[in-house]
Amino acid sequence: MKKMILGLMAVGALAFTSCSSDDDNNSSVSLVGTWKLTAWNSTTGYDINNDGTANTNLLEEFNCYNNETVVFSSNNTAVANSTSYADITAEITAGTTDEFTYTVDCIDEIDSVPLTWSLAGNTITFDEGSSDEIVGTLNGNTFSIVVPEGLVVYNDDFSEIVVNQDLTFVYTKQ
């Protein structure tokens, strides 16, 4: 059987950037507080839990990343908290050329990344101390961050990338 490895960008690492729009319908929404990761949206649906239903929200497909949060403070600091990550493999289903059977291992971790943040209109800009800024888009009680190439599927010996697409992380205010 042909085996493939699915690589998913870890939330806790926060090593991603995105573009945002200029809507400003958030005048009554305060960033201060806890925001929970509620969606990992891909452009293609996947049936990672092998139940016969593919989802574009990958969080619906496995039980990892259940308690990932960003906690905003009023002094323009924040902490991104990660409690797990997924180790996913995919094998070609016998008798097919494009159907996969997935195996998911959720690995517990405790990782907190300190951030500073600013808000201009609906654009949230994070600084984690590296040269790259993280930019998100606030829309009511959610904000999203596009992770370029956040979903990468490799062949079994990691010599070839089979799938490479962006992921959109969505956080909802708690």
24-33, 96-105, 138-147: which has the minimum mean pLDDT? 24-33
Cβ-in-10-Å burial (0-12, 13-18, 19+) of 165 comes to middle
User: Are 167 and 59 in contact, with CB atoms under 8 Å apart?
Assistant: no
User: Are 138 and 119 in contact, with CB atoms under 8 Å apart?
Assistant: yes
pLDDT attached to residue 3: 46
pLDDT attached to residue 20: 34
User: Are 138 and 29 in contact, with CB atoms under 8 Å apart?
Assistant: yes
CB atoms within 10 A of CB 119: 17
Please give the model's pTM, rounded to 2 decimal places: 0.80
The gap between the terminal CA atoms of the chain, to the nearest Å, is 44
Q: Distance between CA 121 and CA 64 in Å, rounded?
A: 32
